[in-house]
Each structure stands twice: as structure tokens, then as C-alpha cells.
């Protein structure tokens, strides 16, 4: 690391990779994007041009090993996250790995074990809701004891249509994984059991997913639901509501004005996640660069990446068995 500047390599320059690269080069003091990689070289070149002429790579491993890359941001398609994170740990480089950390619990366990072998945290997982102001305010309120012990979690996650939610499996591993993590971190307890029900997007394809509700039970007895849509028909919304012994509290995230006009009362809703969570991404990246400068990693850890996949695996099992399923995971290692 050079004179307090963290040189970042970005792997994957799709929607989220280009958003991260743009924020790193324009909003984060002390960060510089020096390399980008994508199989689509034109797309990578366009992002590099906006990052002060960063170098363009076609090979992720070469970017990770480049001598002037201090830290790596992985935003490639989900199936490539695990191998990228493992290569970063092997190279001793801090990595912000987009969610999901892997696509299967077994691969997440390899990352966890590799990081434990390295003896220090190098991995931060891109669960950016931890940096969202509305989520933080709710966590603070719970922490203050205002509503007492949390008894029930309700997560709402409405998406506009995107073709990648082809099946309930991808809906769980790519999208509901955020809600799984939110439930764990906001309730401060692990999810012990899940029961997945959903409505297919295509009645002729039972595993296609339009609307899902996952019932969850936490260690310690609290319960909850994660409600998800892959085609809200109106835009993007994420809300959380928690009921405690002495009251119910929820996130308040829509700050658009309420407009009364022409016998109508209306309020704009974010079209999609880049608009809703832009500020959270800025906070997330600022925190990540800060922890890299201090020589470590903070925020959502490889343990969070691993446990969220353990819960996701149980959700998929429940979607196949039509039964509640226990979450199977290892004991939390002392390092986390
Ligand atoms: C997307 O990949 C994200 O991470 C968004 O936050 C989430 O809301 C969306 O469903 C995912 O597809």
C-alpha cells in the first residue's frame, strides 16, 4: 500500500461491479481502482476508462496476483465468487466478495477454513444492508432495549422482474440470501429451522418462482417470515419489522415526498436496488477501505457468508421436501 492509498482490483464489471468501481473512484478517499477484469472486454474497458484508465484484465487470477493490487472486489457472477475469494486468501489480499460468498455451503466452508488457516480476517461479504441507515437505526433501537426481547422478524423484499430469478433455487441463493443475513444480524441469533413455500412464475414449471414466503425459527425461540417477490409489478422495496415484548418497530426507508394531486395521494418507490441502496454501498465501501488501511477486514464476515448459505441450503431442501428443515452448520469458530 502506497502513501495511504489502497489500490483496488475489481473482478466483474456488470451492474454491481461497475457501481462499486464508480463509487470507489469518485466517492471514497484513499481508494483507487487500478485494475478491472471481465470476460466482456469492451464492458471492462468502458469501466476502466471511467476509473482514470485502470488496466483491463481478462483473467481474474492474474489481477489478484498483480503486484500493485492491494485489495480485490469480487463482483463476478455468483458461481465464480468462491474461487476468487480463495485465490485472494492464498495471495494474502483483503477481499470484498459480493453476496453470496459461494453458491453452496461446502464451498463457503472451504473459504472459512482457508481464512482460519491464514490466521486473520481477509474477507468481507457484500451484505450492504448492514450499512443502510434505516436498518442501522432499527438495530440501534433494538439495542437500546426500547421494545424488549425480539420475538418476531418480518422481512419484505420486492423486486422488479429480472430474468435471473428463473427458479426458487436462484431466488434463494442470489436474492433471499440478503433477507437471511438481515434476519440473523438484526435478531442477533442464528436461524435454526426453515419452511419454504412459493408460487411459481410459470404454472407449468413448479420450481419457477414468483412469490416466496420462508417461515423461520431462531435459536432461542423467536420466529419470523421472509417474504420475497421476483416480480412486484411496481418497483423495488425492502422493509423489516420486528416485534418485541413491548412494541413493534420497523424500518422507515422511503423518504420521497407524499404527493396529493388530482384526487390521488402518491409516493414514489425506488425502481431497483442500485437506487434504494446507493448510500449503503458508499458506506460499505468506505468502511471496507478503512479496514484495509488498518490491515484487516471488518463488517459481514466469512462466517456470515457461510451461515447464510447453510440457511439457504436448508431453504432449498425444504422447497424439495415440502417440510420444515433444520439448518445444518458447523459450530461458530473462535476466530469469528
Ligand atoms: C441483487 O443481486 C442484489 O443484491 C439486490 O440487493 C437484491 O435485492 C436483488 O434481489 C439481487 O438480485
Residue with cell 469501466: 47
Given the candidates 3.40.50.720, 3.30.70.660, 2.40.37.10, 3.30.360.10, the CATH classification of the domain at 130-278+309-326 is 3.30.360.10
How remote is the CA of residue 293 from the centroid of ligand 1, in Å?
A: 28
Residue nearest to atom 12 of ligand 1 (CA): 175
How remote is the CA of residue 68 from the centroid of ligand 1, in Å?
A: 31
The DSSP-derived string for 119-152 is TS--EEE--GGGG-HHHHHHHHHHHTTTT-SEEE
Residue with cell 417474504: 227
Ligand 1: nearest atom to the Cα of 98: 4
At 178-233, the pLDDT tens digits run 999 999 999 999 999 999 999 999 999 999 999 999 999 999 999 999 999 999 99
At 59-75, the pLDDT tens digits run 999 999 999 999 999 99
Q: What percent of the chain has pLDDT over 90?
A: 94
Q: Which residues of 167-197 are buried (b: 16+ CB within 10 A; e: fewer)?
A: bbbbbbbbbbbbbbbbbbbbbebbbbbbbbe
Residue nearest to atom 9 of ligand 1 (CA): 175
At 262-278, the pLDDT tens digits run 999 999 999 999 999 99
Beta partners for 154? 225, 241
Q: How high is the pLDDT of residue 1? A: 66
Q: Are 309 and 50 in contact (CB under 8 A)?
A: no
Ligand 1: nearest atom to the Cα of 162: 12
Domain 6-128 and domain 130-278+309-326 have a common topology: no
The separation between the first and the last C-alpha atoms of the chain, rounded to the nearest angstrom, is 26
How remote is the CA of residue 236 from the centroid of ligand 1, in Å?
A: 10
pTM over 0.95: yes
Ligand 1: nearest atom to the Cα of 236: 8
Q: Which residues of 293-330 are buried (b: 16+ CB within 10 A; e: fewer)?
A: beeebebbbbbbbbbbbbbbbbbbbbbeeeeebebebe
How remote is the CA of residue 42 from the centroid of ligand 1, in Å?
A: 24
Rounded to an integer, the average pLDDT of 11-15 is: 97
Q: How high is the pLDDT of residue 92? A: 97
Q: Which of 174, 253, 275 to mutate to test the pocket of ligand 1 (most atoms within 8 A of CB)?
A: 174
Residue 162: pLDDT band (50, 70, 90) is confident
Helix axes 177-187, 302-321, angle to 10 degrees: 120
Residue nearest to atom 10 of ligand 1 (CA): 175
- Helices of type H across 144-245: 168-170, 177-187
Ligand 1: nearest atom to the Cα of 175: 10
Q: Which of 273, 280, 284, 308 to mutate to test the pocket of ligand 1 (most atoms within 8 A of CB)?
A: 273
How remote is the CA of residue 79 from the centroid of ligand 1, in Å?
A: 15
At 222-239, the pLDDT tens digits run 999 999 999 999 999 999
Residue nearest to atom 3 of ligand 1 (CA): 175
How remote is the CA of residue 273 from the centroid of ligand 1, in Å?
A: 7
The DSSP-derived string for 241-296 is EEEETTEEEE-----SPEEEETTEEEE---SSHHHHTHHHHHHHHHHHHHHHHTTS
Please give all residues whose beta carbon lies within 6 A of any atom in ligand 1, as ranges. Answer: 159, 174-175, 178, 273
**Does residue 3 surpass a pLDDT of 90?**
no
Of 253, 243, 281, 266, give the one whose Cα is nearest residue 129: 281
Q: How high is the pLDDT of residue 164? A: 82
Q: Which of 76, 99, 175 to mutate to test the pocket of ligand 1 (most atoms within 8 A of CB)?
A: 175
Of 232, 209, 227, give the one whose Cα is nearest residue 161: 232
Cα separations (Å) of 276 from 52, 143, 178, 237? 27, 25, 14, 8
More confident residue, 256 or 152: 152
Fold that domain 6-128 belongs to in CATH: Rossmann fold (3.40.50)
Of 93, 21, 73, give the one whose Cα is nearest residue 52: 21
At 284-330, the pLDDT tens digits run 999 999 999 999 889 999 999 999 999 999 999 999 999 999 999 99
- Domain residue ranges of the chain, discontinuous segments joined by +: 6-128, 130-278+309-326
Quote the distance between the C-alpha of residue 236 and its chain's center: 16
Name the pairing type of β-strands 325-326 and 191-199: antiparallel
Residue with cell 464476515: 301
Amino acid at each position: 500500500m502506497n502513501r495511504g492509498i489502497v489500490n483496488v482490483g475489481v473482478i466483474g464489471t456488470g451492474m454491481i461491479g461497475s457501481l462499486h468501481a464508480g463509487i470507489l473512484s469518485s466517492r471514497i478517499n484513499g481508494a483507487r481502482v487500478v485494475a478491472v477484469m471481465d470476460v466482456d472486454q469492451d464492458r471492462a474497458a468502458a469501466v476502466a476508462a471511467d476509473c482514470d484508465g485502470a488496466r483491463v484484465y481478462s483473467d481474474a487470477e492474474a489481477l489478484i496476483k498483480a503486484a500493485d493490487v492491494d485489495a480485490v472486489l469480487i463482483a463476478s457472477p455468483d458461481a465464480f465468487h468462491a474461487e476468487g475469494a480463495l485465490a485472494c486468501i492464498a495471495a494474502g489480499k483483503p477481499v470484498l466478495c459480493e453476496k453470496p460468498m459461494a453458491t453452496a455451503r461446502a464451498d463457503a466452508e472451504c473459504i472459512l477454513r482457508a481464512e482460519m488457516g491464514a490466521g486473520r480476517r481477509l474477507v468481507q461479504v457484500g451484505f450492504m444492508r448492514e450499512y443502510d441507515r434505516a436498518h442501522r437505526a432499527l438495530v440501534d433501537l433494538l439495542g437500546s432495549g426500547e421494545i424488549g426481547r425480539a420475538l418476531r422478524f418480518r422481512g419484505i423484499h420486492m423486486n422488479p422482474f429480472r430474468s435471473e430469478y428463473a427458479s426458487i433455487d436462484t431466488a434463494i441463493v442470489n436474492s433471499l440470501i440478503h433477507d437471511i443475513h438481515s434476519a440473523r444480524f438484526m435478531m442477533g441469533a442464528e436461524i435454526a429451522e426453515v419452511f419454504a413455500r412459493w408460487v411459481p412464475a410459470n404454472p407449468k414449471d413448479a420450481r419457477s418462482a414468483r412469490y416466496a414466503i420462508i417461515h423461520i425459527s431462531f435459536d432461542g425461540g423467536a420466529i419470523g417470515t421472509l417474504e420475497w417477490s421476483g416480480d412486484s409489478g411496481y418497483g423495488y422495496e425492502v422493509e423489516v419489522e420486528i416485534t418485541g415484548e413491548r412494541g413493534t418497530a420497523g424500518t422507515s426507508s422511503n423518504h420521497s415526498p407524499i404527493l396529493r394531486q388530482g384526487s390521488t395521494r402518491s409516493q414514489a418507490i425506488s425502481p431497483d436496488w442500485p437506487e434504494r441502496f446507493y448510500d449503503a454501498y458508499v458506506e460499505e465501501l468506505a468502511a471496507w477501505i478503512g479496514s484495509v488501511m488498518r490491515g484487516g477486514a471488518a463488517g459481514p464476515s466469512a462466517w456470515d457468508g457461510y451461515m447464510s448459505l447453510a440457511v439457504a441450503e436448508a431453504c432449498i431442501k425444504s422447497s424439495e421436501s415440502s417440510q420444515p428443515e433444520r439448518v445444518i452448520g458447523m459450530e461458530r469458530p473462535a476466530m469469528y
